[in-house]
Amino acid sequence: MIDHKLRKILDNSYFIGGSPCSGKSTISEILSTKYDLEYLKIDDYEQEHIENASPEQHPIMYKWSQMSWDEIWMRSVEKQVEEEFEFYRERFSMILNELKKYQSNSKVILESAALLPELLKELDLEKHRVIFLIPSKEFQIKYYSKRGFKDGILKECRQPEVAFNNWMERDHLFGKKVRKQAMDIGYKVIDVNGDRSIKENSRLVEAHFRLRANS
């Protein structure tokens, strides 16, 4: 249910979706600082949302909360992608509830892989307020390999190399599906492969959002 307050916030906010390791967080930080936007880093609330998931309302989220990392990553990649989409569908109302906590006149920049094109479409947003960043598989693996938190996750897996390969393949296939969905709806997509710097990609997002001084 979108009430008057949430509608006002939505109409003045900006949404960056796409698959992991594409620069969403860095670009959001740059733009939120430059334009004095509130920054809703959706991933920071994931654990809280999982803990609040119920088996009746959020069966996939609840199932995921009961699984070990080994169980998560050693399943078929196709099943992982399918459940990732369903996980985000179940979670979306929780994300909107986080947005409702802001003042009605707030301008918020939101970013996360959880912002699926199909879900944002239902919010009836202006197209210039929505963008998706999709990394190439090579770019994704290169930068994911540098993320320290992955090591703790992979230590819990019987076959860390296989688990990591499945993880990367899942995110790659997820990105391909998100890209197609976004293009079909008519949302802007930026492909990220390292040809442009993060500052250059930030300027592309900034231009698409029509951000300017006093915007």
Average pLDDT over residues 106-128: 98
Whether 173 is in a domain gets the answer yes
| CA geometry: angle 84, 72, 180, nearest 5 deg | 25
Whether 89 is in a domain gets the answer yes
Q: According to the model, what pLDDT value does residue 215 have?
A: 52
Q: How does pLDDT run across 136-185, given as a tens digit for each residue?
A: 999 999 988 888 788 999 999 999 999 999 999 999 999 999 999 999 99
Structurally, the chain folds into a number of domains equal to 1
Whether 49 is in a domain gets the answer yes
Q: Which structural domain range is residue 158 located in?
A: 4-208
Q: How does pLDDT run across 80-99, given as a tens digit for each residue?
A: 999 999 999 999 999 999 99
Q: According to the model, what pLDDT value does residue 78 have?
A: 97
Phi then psi for residue 79, to 5 deg, are: -65, -40
- Output the domain CATH number for residue 32: 3.40.50.300
Exposure of 163 in the CB half-sphere (CA atoms within 13 A):
18
Q: What is the C-alpha separation between 78 and 80, in angstroms, rounded? A: 5
- Secondary structure class of 108 (helix, strand, coil): strand
Sign of CA dihedral 148, 154, 159, 165: negative
* Confidence at 214, pLDDT banded by 50, 70, 90: low
Query: DSSP character for 192?
Result: E
- Secondary structure class of 166 (helix, strand, coil): helix
Whether 39 is in a domain gets the answer yes
Q: According to the model, what pLDDT value does residue 145 have?
A: 85
Whether 213 is in a domain gets the answer no
Whether 214 is in a domain gets the answer no
Q: According to the model, what pLDDT value does residue 131 have?
A: 99
How many H helices and E strands in the chain? 11, 5
- What is the pTM for the complete model shown? 0.95
